[in-house]
A and B are shown apart, each in its own frame.
Chain A
Amino acid sequence: MSVVHLRAVVALLGRFPALAGVDLDVESGEAVLLQGPNGAGKTSLLRLCAGLLAPASGEAVVLGHDLGRDRRSVRREVGMLAHATFLYDDLSVYENVCFWARAAGGSPAEAEAAIARLEIDTRLRDIPVVRLSTGQRRRTSLAVLVARRPRLWLLDEPHAGLDQAGRDIVDGLVRDAVDAGATVLVASHELDRTRTIASRVITIAGGVVVADQPIPGRSMPVGPAPERGGPDVA
């Protein structure tokens, strides 16, 4: 069964059809690159898959949950890296990661391991995130994602704001997640870089999928979706 199954899905931002009839299937263990111009609908597609944007019509099933009827259930099993940081400015790196990890049923140990996985400087661990650079905040957001260990990773421009080392870490995270059986959707304008971690490229324009191509030489691992799908960081 597909992790993401969309048929003729329309989603509205106000009256504007951000998604205007999307057909898409993503299988377990795939890493899919979403590309397209600004305003094409990439972020809306990720938000739909996260259960944050309701389908106005069509058939939308993510991780077995019908988004037309039950969006809350899917949210527990996805992790999203968005343009916003999803962090509380006055909490430290550790407190933020620990809070969101515990909210997802994780433990402080998983939060610690996620921070270490993102190679966040230990001197920054107890600093309020409001004082951090954009790149370190991005790493903290990624640590939150890792600590949640989602089955479906939704990454919106994951390399933005990161230095070379941070970008390499993101690539490693995606590979580890796929190896662990999770599914990854990456919206990115950095096509050359993201093509090295994806097995398939979806092109979106005007709110519809206009091209769907495998990346030559990159196999698509297929297997049953795990209970929790991220890299085992604990």
Chain B
Amino acid sequence: MWHDVRLIAGKDLRIEWRSQVATGQVAPFAILVLVLFGFALDADTVALRTFTGGLYWVTVLFSAVLAIQRSFALESADGNRDALRLSGIEPAAIFFGKATALVVQLVLLEVLLGAGVAVLYGPSVEDFPLLVATAGVATIGVAAAGTLYGVLAAGLRVRETILPILLLPVLAPVLIGATRAFDDALGTVAVNGWNWLALLGLTAVVYVAFGALAFGVLLEDS
């Protein structure tokens, strides 16, 4: 199975590297959203610092929707969805492979956004391990849910517009948990970020488990 996971993830990452969609479109979009948040809050540095966690994760989720749509647009073109079904690769391996490729892309995007936030909003970090752990766990949750809903949306005729409507409500727990944990890590709100991280981890486990089980059904029937 892990051979197939590496095969699928490697294929997706190679295509992204070759097409430069992630670097040429998704990353600029993400930075643009950060800048627009700055405009919307009238460049109020106190407000921007206070809400850095929420603004950061909203930006990540919007950008992730683009990356997920791109990931499954590859499979919708030229009958590749049928080709994947014909390949004999276990659906769970396809799920983990595509989710892994998304995790890699999202991590790179989050690093870029982190740099953007540091420059534009000027927050201070008080608990770096919590920050990194939250980003890692939340990224796995976003990638798992995104892969599951990506294959569901890819089978529909309205796939270009339906994905955000389906996916963003499902990712609300990730947004809430990651924002609260970031608030603690950045010292903007007095909450126990590690408790929120634990809740975030539980959410990610549910998404991964459900995705691995349900992906094959959705690949077949949607």
Contact = CB atoms under 8 A, between A and B. Distances in A.
Given A82-B79, A103-B7, A90 B18 contact: yes
Contacts of A78: 86
- The 5 lowest CB-CB distance pairs between A and B, nearest first, are A84-B79, A76-B88, A86-B83, A103-B87, A90-B18
Interface string B18-57: 1100000000000000000000000000000000000000
Contacts of A72: 88
Secondary structure at chain A's binding surface: helix, strand, loop or mixed? loop
A89 B15 CA distance: 9
Given A99-B7, A99-B11, A87 B87 contact: no
A105 B14 CA distance: 20
B89 A86 contact: no
Nearest to A103: B87
Contact of A86 (B11, B14, B15, B82): B82
A32 B100 CA distance: 43
B181 to A, nearest CB: 36
B15 A82 contact: no
Interface of A: 50-52, 72, 75-76, 78-80, 82-91, 95, 99-100, 102-105, 128
Given A75-B85, A91-B14, A95-B14, A86 B78 contact: yes
B133 interface: no
Contacts of B87: 75, 100, 103-104
A82 B89 contact: no
Given A87-B78, A87-B80, A90-B19, 16 more contacts: A51-B85, A51-B86, A75-B88, A79-B86, A84-B83, A86-B79, A86-B83, A86-B86, A88-B11, A89-B77, A90-B14, A90-B15, A91-B15, A103-B7, A103-B89, A128-B18
B40 to A, nearest CB: 36
B100 to A, nearest CB: 16
Contacts, number: 66
Contact of A84 (B14, B82, B85): B82
A75 B86 CA distance: 5
Given A52-B85, A103-B88, A91 B11 contact: yes
A99 B13 CA distance: 13
B18 A91 contact: yes
19 contacts: A51-B86, A52-B85, A72-B88, A75-B85, A82-B79, A83-B79, A84-B83, A86-B80, A86-B82, A88-B11, A88-B74, A88-B78, A91-B14, A103-B4, A103-B7, A103-B87, A103-B89, A104-B87, A128-B18
Contacts of A50: 86
A89 B78 contact: yes
A87 B80 CA distance: 7
B104 to A, nearest CB: 17
A82 B78 CA distance: 10
A145 B6 CA distance: 22
B58 to A, nearest CB: 30
Nearest to B90: A72
